[in-house]
């Protein structure tokens, strides 16, 4: 028996004999078994919960599902996030000779290697993307495998595309990336779920070769990727093609040697298609800047790599619209799509493109409310760009997640606190969500050189924590603070915040000073053991934002300050698409917080599928009609369209709409 498998079996036996209930008990048993095997040189890696889960019998998996399951915080907000990185690619203002930003790490040819701009290659999502060659199909499959391996069914998934200014990529690449991300969800559903939405564990284990053999992990990964590349360009909605794939992967001769022979002798559909003759030079006029350069720089190599990937992999026989349509009723659905961009690449043209992709939320790097700071850091856009972009995107229906960076050059702690407060005092901003990223110093940046020369002093951990804690006094109840620190390991930073648990540090200061944060994240029902849906009432908060009117409709227990769900209703300031008439109201978000529950099912431990969303929608329609609106426009995730159809909405353009008369 494989030594790693034997260790997993021994851990399982201990779980059964000692009736283990807690993670602490589990970890103690893991360390005990590891030390036993480590002393004789058999293994040197602690088995993951998923390894133990799949080493057991079906009965063992049922018994220890919760103990060995994925940490619920990943899905406690009601959806399963899937973060994936686009290819390393230069920033638009770098190509104009302005950037990159003085504090921004990564990018093509960086000291961290060829990695996405603003990342180091050490973040979990970046490492996953590198491991899968930045292939969206492979990345999404890999993440879905992780969710299922940890006992979760990620049927309501949210794609979060990271890696710099995605809207600067060629349009064909944007479509390719989103298309194959969603196709991965559709194909995963077809391969491993039965018609009732239940995972077919035998097939899942066979395809992903579980439980793992640690000594052969690299070979396992390579074989899985080979299988996925074989079907990546196949249309598995075709019963004949799907049947052939099932026979290959799950038939009687499903050993690795047989599969490898079949794959080598019968390459996937990609090779059967004629060479895609579509050129990408006309897709993005910005690339003309590159074409006149003579030197083969890291940036030009990165751009050529993306061009080549489009030509080789963007098979036009499978359209984005077809894949999106299939996902509407898939067992794993894309209920939200987030795209990162800069404000000068977040205007009307880019907003319309993002709508076609199915995007529902945009993350904008505001970074500072001070023009002199943006200019000094080579940001490449102005404060006015930030304000215009936020207004346009809100009026198109997008949710706005703003990034703000305290501690930049030319700022003081007082300026930073004032800047954070300004985000919610100035109606030109008022984002729906916020990520606070205290400026950190990293190798390869201009800021690093300034820091080494003693020209720049970053915020310390203590200073950053105290500032954020004080700011929490002013955060409105309609905003969710997603992050207060970059997901970058501190061992790759040279200066600045040196703790990875900054949020816990902030919470400690808040507790000491009696600061009560009322942001959405701090009030979510999923995090609150006192949450009682029977105590929920409907509350309305109105505020002016970006020249329009916002109505935040919340289902909450006001006494315990617990939030169960909400709806963001907007009366837009301008009418930028034909679907949005002058008498339209826009629903920019509908969200119910609690542990994720499979579509069409209920759970006593969750508040999803209890009618909260339906009640919030009814209230939004009532308010819209009271204000003279005759049409409701909803920006809906691809996989949420069926939900809105049940409420009387129909697809119009990229929106779900309903006549309110």
The CATH number covering residue 611 comes to 3.40.630.30
- Residue appearing with tokens 């204000």: 627
pTM over 0.85: yes
Q: Is the pLDDT of residue 421 over 90?
A: yes
Q: Is the pLDDT of residue 291 over 90?
A: no
Residues in contact with 228: Cβ distance below 8 Å, sequence separation at least 6, in sequence order: 137, 138, 141
Q: Is the pLDDT of residue 21 over 70?
A: yes
Write phi, then psi, for 217 (nearest 5 degrees): -65, -40
Q: Is the pLDDT of residue 196 over 70?
A: yes
- Closest to 79 (Cα-Cα) out of 597, 543, 642, 656: 597
pLDDT in tens, 575-599: 999 999 999 999 999 999 865 445 6
Got the DSSP string for 126-166? Answer: HHHHHHTTT-HHHHHHHHHHHHHHTT----EEEEEEESS-G
According to the model, what pLDDT value does residue 290 have? 40
Residues in contact with 112: Cβ distance below 8 Å, sequence separation at least 6, in sequence order: 105, 106, 119, 120, 121, 122, 443, 444, 492
- pLDDT-derived band of residue 42, with 50, 70 and 90 as boundaries? low
Residues 291 and 393 in one domain: no
- Closest to 135 (Cα-Cα) out of 268, 287, 305, 266: 305
| 332 assigned to some structural domain | no
According to the model, what pLDDT value does residue 73 have? 40
Q: Report d(CA 233, CA 220) in Å as an integer.
A: 22
Distances (CA, A) of 190 to 64, 180, 587: 27, 15, 32
Domain ranges, residue 532: 525-659
| 228 assigned to some structural domain | yes
- pLDDT-derived band of residue 36, with 50, 70 and 90 as boundaries? confident
| 535 assigned to some structural domain | yes
Residues 601 and 456 in one domain: no
Q: For 357, which DSSP code?
A: H
Q: Which of 523, 552, 575 is the last residue of a domain?
A: 523
Q: Report d(CA 41, CA 261) in Å as an integer.
A: 35
Mean pLDDT of 512-527: 92
Q: What is the mean pLDDT of the chain?
A: 88
Buried b (16+ CB within 10 A) or exposed e, 556-570: bbeeeebbbbbbbbb
According to the model, what pLDDT value does residue 381 have? 96
According to the model, what pLDDT value does residue 353 have? 98
Of the listed ranges 371-380, 445-454, 553-562, the least confidently predicted one is 553-562
Q: What percent of the chain has pLDDT over 70?
A: 88
Residues in contact with 186: Cβ distance below 8 Å, sequence separation at least 6, in sequence order: 236, 237, 323, 326, 327, 330, 332
| 476 assigned to some structural domain | yes
Q: Report d(CA 609, CA 597) in Å as an integer.
A: 8
Structure tokens given for 173: 């690449």
Of the listed ranges 216-220, 574-578, 614-618, the least confidently predicted one is 216-220
User: Is 401 within 8 Å of 369 (Cβ atoms)?
Assistant: no
Residues 376 and 306 in one domain: no
- Closest to 109 (Cα-Cα) out of 297, 291, 286: 297
Structure tokens given for 498: 């040196």
Sheet containing strand 631-634, strands side by side: 537-545, 548-557, 562-571, 584-592, 631-634, 655-659, 650-652
- pLDDT-derived band of residue 259, with 50, 70 and 90 as boundaries? low
| 328 assigned to some structural domain | no
Of the listed ranges 38-42, 435-439, 494-498, 632-636, the least confidently predicted one is 38-42
Q: Is the pLDDT of residue 378 over 70?
A: yes
Taking the alpha carbons at both ends of the chain, their separation in whole angstroms is 70
Residues 366 and 282 in one domain: no
User: Is 30 within 8 Å of 11 (Cβ atoms)?
Assistant: yes
Residues 23 and 107 in one domain: no
Q: What percent of the chain has pLDDT over 90?
A: 69
483-487, 545-549, 557-561: which has the highest mean pLDDT?
A: 545-549
Structure tokens given for 191: 């391969």
| 633 assigned to some structural domain | yes
pLDDT in tens, 48-99: 887 887 777 778 877 887 787 645 444 445 689 999 999 999 999 988 889 8
Residues 302 and 368 in one domain: no
Q: Report d(CA 484, CA 434) in Å as an integer.
A: 9
Residues 282 and 184 in one domain: yes
Instruction: Give 643's Cβ-side CA count (13 Å radius).
Output: 23
Mean pLDDT of 204-221: 85
According to the model, what pLDDT value does residue 287 have? 39
Residues 516 and 490 in one domain: yes
Residues 173 and 225 in one domain: yes
| 329 assigned to some structural domain | no
Q: Which of 24, 49, 68 is the last residue of a domain?
A: 68
Angle between helices 136-149 and 171-192 (to 10 degrees): 30
According to the model, what pLDDT value does residue 285 have? 36
Q: Report d(CA 369, CA 374) in Å as an integer.
A: 8
- pLDDT-derived band of residue 276, with 50, 70 and 90 as boundaries? very low
Residues 634 and 560 in one domain: yes
Residues 351 and 431 in one domain: yes
Q: Report d(CA 241, CA 318) in Å as an integer.
A: 14
Q: Is the pLDDT of residue 272 over 50?
A: no
Mean pLDDT of 134-145: 97
Residues 214 and 265 in one domain: yes
Tally of structural domains, the chain: 4
Host H or E run for residue 208: helix 201-208
């Amino acid at each position: 028996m494989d030594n790693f498998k034997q260790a997993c079996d021994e851990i399982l036996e201990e779980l059964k004999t000692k009736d283990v209930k807690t993670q602490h008990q589990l970890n103690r048993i893991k360390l005990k078994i590891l030390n036993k095997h480590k002393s004789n040189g058999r293994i040197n890696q602690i088995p993951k919960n998923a390894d133990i889960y799949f080493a057991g019998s079906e009965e063992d998996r049922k018994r220890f599902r919760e103990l060995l399951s994925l940490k619920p915080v990943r899905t406690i907000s009601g959806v399963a996030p899937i973060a994936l990185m686009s290819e390393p690619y230069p920033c638009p203002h770098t190509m104009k000779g302005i950037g990159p930003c003085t504090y921004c790490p990564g990018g093509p040819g960086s000291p961290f290697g060829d990695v996405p701009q603003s990342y180091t290659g050490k973040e979990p999502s970046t490492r996953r993307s590198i491991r899968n060659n930045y292939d969206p199909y492979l990345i999404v499959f890999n993440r879905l495998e992780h969710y299922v391996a940890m006992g979760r069914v990620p049927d309501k998934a949210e794609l979060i595309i990271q890696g710099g200014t995605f809207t600067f990529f060629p349009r064909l690449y944007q479509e390719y990336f989103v298309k194959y991300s969603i196709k991965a969800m559709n194909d995963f559903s077809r391969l491993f779920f039965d018609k009732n939405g239940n995972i077919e564990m035998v097939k899942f284990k066979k395809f992903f070769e579980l439980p793992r053999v640690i000594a052969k992990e690299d070979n396992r990964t390579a074989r899985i990727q080979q299988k996925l590349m074989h079907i990546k360009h196949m249309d598995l909605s075709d019963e004949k093609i799907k049947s052939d794939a099932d026979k290959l992967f799950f038939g009687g001769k499903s050993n690795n040697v047989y599969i490898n022979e079949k794959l080598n002798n019968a390459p996937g559909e990609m090779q059967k298609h004629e060479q895609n003759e579509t050129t990408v030079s006309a897709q993005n006029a910005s690339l003309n800047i590159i074409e006149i350069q003579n030197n083969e720089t890291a940036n030009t190599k990165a751009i050529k790599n993306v061009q080549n990937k489009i030509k080789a992999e963007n098979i036009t026989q499978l359209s984005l619209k077809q894949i999106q349509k299939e996902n509407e009723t898939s067992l794993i659905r894309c209920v939200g799509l987030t795209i990162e961009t800069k404000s000068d690449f977040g205007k009307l043209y880019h907003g319309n493109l993002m709508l076609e992709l199915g995007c529902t939320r945009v993350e904008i790097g505001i970074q500072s409310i001070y023009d002199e700071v943006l200019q000094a850091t080579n940001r490449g856009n102005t404060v006015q760009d930030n304000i215009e972009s936020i207004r346009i995107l809100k009026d198109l229906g997008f949710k706005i997640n703003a990034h703000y960076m305290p501690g930049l050059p030319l700022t003081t702690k007082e300026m930073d606190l004032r800047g954070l407060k300004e985000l919610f005092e100035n109606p030109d901003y008022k984002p729906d969500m916020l990520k606070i990223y205290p400026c950190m110093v990293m190798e390869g940046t201009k800021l690093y050189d300034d820091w080494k020369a003693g020209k720049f002093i970053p915020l310390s951990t203590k200073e950053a924590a105290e500032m954020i804690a004080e700011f929490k006094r002013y955060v409105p109840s309609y905003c969710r603070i997603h992050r207060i620190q970059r997901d970058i390991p501190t061992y790759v930073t040279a200066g600045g915040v040196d703790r990875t648990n900054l949020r816990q540090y902030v919470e400690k200061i808040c507790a000491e000073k009696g600061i009560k944060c009322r942001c959405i994240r701090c009030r979510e029902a999923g995090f609150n053991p006192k949450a009682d849906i029977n105590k929920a009432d409907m509350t309305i908060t109105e505020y002016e934002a970006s020249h329009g009117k916002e109505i935040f409709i919340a289902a909450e227990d006001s006494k315990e300050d617990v939030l169960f769900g909400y709806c963001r209703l907007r009366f837009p300031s301008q009418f930028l698409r034909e679907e949005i008439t002058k008498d339209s109201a826009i629903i920019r978000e509908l969200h119910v917080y609690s542990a994720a529950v499979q579509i069409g099912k209920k759970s006593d431990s969750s508040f999803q599928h209890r009618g909260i969303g339906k009640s919030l929608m009814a209230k939004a329609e009532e308010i819209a009609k009271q204000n003279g609106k005759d049409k409701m426009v909803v920006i809906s995730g691809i996989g949420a369209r069926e939900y809105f159809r049940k409420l009387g909405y129909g697809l119009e353009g990229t929106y779900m709409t309903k006549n309110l008369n």
